[in-house]
Structure 1
């Protein structure tokens, strides 16, 4: 269930920030908003899913949403190149954020177990 929720949230975040029409995805504020949304989703997802699984699901959902929008609005036909760049970039960022969150959670949990 967490996997389905993660995919849906990621897809919706991508659509909300980037996929709302042609020419609307070049604003730095939209890109920053999308990145912040994905960071928050990655942190929450890593509390419920293994970081690698969350990264895989989140990356595929984001890339799918991005690709749907890009394929419909890109007149050059180069959207698959952008999709591959998005795929690699989102996966790398997601692994970093989820791995840090997972590691921090592990440290905090162990400290609480040690303290009397």
Structure 2
């Protein structure tokens, strides 16, 4: 799982691919729609989509002459699960920070 997560995060970290993932978060889109939304050339968008597909983040279905891309739910779930593992860590750290600030405020008599 870690290798998949690392590969997917690396691929998604490129700004245009990140924007594509955000667009597809709203629902499936054709290559043409992605080109229009990003203002990039079709070859650039196709290259980004190919890299996202190789990382397992997106997949395409054919509809007549178009390729319609959508996010792969299992890949996004895997990324979400990985990130959720840090929620407890940050929650505990923020709780400690809050307690520290409360103590500081009491000591200063504010």
**How does the TM-score come out when normalised to structure 2?**
0.35
Flag the structure with larger Rg.
Answer: 2
**How does the TM-score come out when normalised to structure 1?**
0.34
Structure of higher RCO (CA pairs closer than 8 Å, 6+ residues apart): 1
Higher strand share: 2
